[in-house]
Amino acid sequence: MHFDEYQKHALETDQKPGRESDAMVVALLGLAGEVGSLLSEYKKLLRDGPAHEGFRAQVCEELGDLLWYVANVASKCGLSLNTIARDNLAKTRARWLPPDAPAPLFDDGFPEGEQLPREFEYTFGYRDVGGKQMVVMLNAQGQAVGDPLTDNAYADDGYRFHDVLHLAHAAVLGWSPVLRKLLARKRKSAPRIDDVEDGGRAQVIEEAIAAAVYEYATRHALLQRVERVDWELLRSVKRLTTPFEVAVRTEAEWERAFLLAFDLWRRVRDHDGGSVRGDLRSRTLEFVPPR
């Protein structure tokens, strides 16, 4: 039986039809009540153990009642149970399952000089700038990439190494407007893409994501021994990136980028330097200790 077919037949037994507020309240209270009944059955199982022989049959009945009320609430809201089920599966797959295979990179087909480097290694070290020790990110030729950085904070919080996050975005997601700017790899052969995808607004969004994720990470031991990132953070990131090409990347991919980034970030901070090596084709990133 299809969900929509079930929903149609369930509506035939609705004793409080209509979409008025009192009809909706009855359906919602019924939904809450059935959840309570299900919990009560599980409580009996915990208390009585094998003596609660009717547990499975009772759970089957309670889940059926729950399904009826879910269908009823959907009907009163003018929603299709088929659509609800399909969208929920898409949402949960995007959250928990990585793609079956790496998706094509956004700049495939562009001139090599406009592509993010498929393989890279950048070293984080210190230079004296105006009498102040500042972190610089150096390429293989020892040339500085971007501006020298400090934490810009009263406390030593390691934010001076935050370009690791942009490298992780590039390696895992194939996306980093900030890194494109630093490397002069903007897609100028396609002015519209250069303006929208590689422009100032996209760069600001990526920096905002870096700041938000760092704030979250500081409340969770810089994600040490953390295997999952909060759903609300991932949802906020997805909303921020809706206008851009990276919108096709899933929550699972963003989560992997963040966890990988902070794994390396902690190592760079602990060593007060070191190198980060990435490969966009294999979507990998690794730490190389300072020599």
pLDDT at position 227 is: 94
Of 120, 243, 133, nearest to 183 by C-alpha is 120
List Cα–Cα distances, 11 to 7, 86, 243, in angstroms.
Answer: 6, 20, 39
Whether the per-residue pLDDT at 96 is higher than 90: the answer is yes
What is the SS3 string spanning the chain?
Answer: CCHHHHHHHHHCCCCCCCCCHHHHHHHHHHHHHHHHHHHHHHHHHHHHHHHCCCHHHHHHHHHHHHHHHHHHHHHHCCCCHHHHHHHHHHHHHHHHCCCCCCCCCCCCCCCHHHCCCCEEEEEEEEEEECCEEEEEEECCCCCEEEEEECCCCCCCCCHHHCHHHHHHHHHHHCCCHHHHHHHCCCCCCCHHHHHHCCCHHHHHHHHHHHHHHHHHHHCCHHHCCCCCCCHHHHHHHHHHCCCCHHHHCCHHHHHHHHHHHHHHHHHHHHHCCEEEEEECCCCEEEEECCC
- Ordered structural domains, the chain, with CATH: 3-96 (1.10.287.1080), 112-288 (no CATH)
When computed from its CA atoms, the radius of gyration of the chain, rounded to whole angstroms, is: 26
Would you state the structure tokens that stand for residue 250, as one six-digit string?
């899933």
- In this structure, are residues 218 and 179 in contact, taking their beta carbons and an 8 Å threshold? no
What is the Cα–Cα distance from 266 to 144, expressed in whole angstroms?
22
Bridge partners of residue 119, in order along the sequence: 279
pLDDT at position 181 is: 97
Would you state the structure tokens that stand for residue 70, as one six-digit string?
């879910």
Q: Phi and psi for 16 in degrees, rounded to 5? A: -135, 65
Q: How do residues 244-253 score in pLDDT, each as one tens digit? A: 999 999 999 9
Would you state the structure tokens that stand for residue 81, as one six-digit string?
């149970």
- In this structure, are residues 135 and 145 in contact, taking their beta carbons and an 8 Å threshold? no
- In this structure, are residues 168 and 193 in contact, taking their beta carbons and an 8 Å threshold? no
124: left (phi over 0), alpha (psi -120 to 50) or beta: beta
pLDDT at position 87 is: 96
Banded pLDDT at 265 (limits 50, 70, 90): very high
Site of tokens 């490397």: 183
Q: How do residues 21-64 score in pLDDT, each as one tens digit? A: 999 999 999 999 999 999 999 999 999 988 888 899 999 999 99
Bridge partners of residue 135, in order along the sequence: 126, 149
Residue 222: exposure state from Cβ atoms within 10 A (0-12, 13-18, ≥19): middle
What is the Cα–Cα distance from 277 to 133, expressed in whole angstroms?
24
Bridge partners of residue 277, in order along the sequence: 121, 286
pLDDT at position 51 is: 82
What is the Cα–Cα distance from 250 to 247, expressed in whole angstroms?
8
Share of the chain above pLDDT 70, in %: 100
Q: How do residues 205-231 score in pLDDT, each as one tens digit? A: 999 999 999 999 999 999 999 999 999
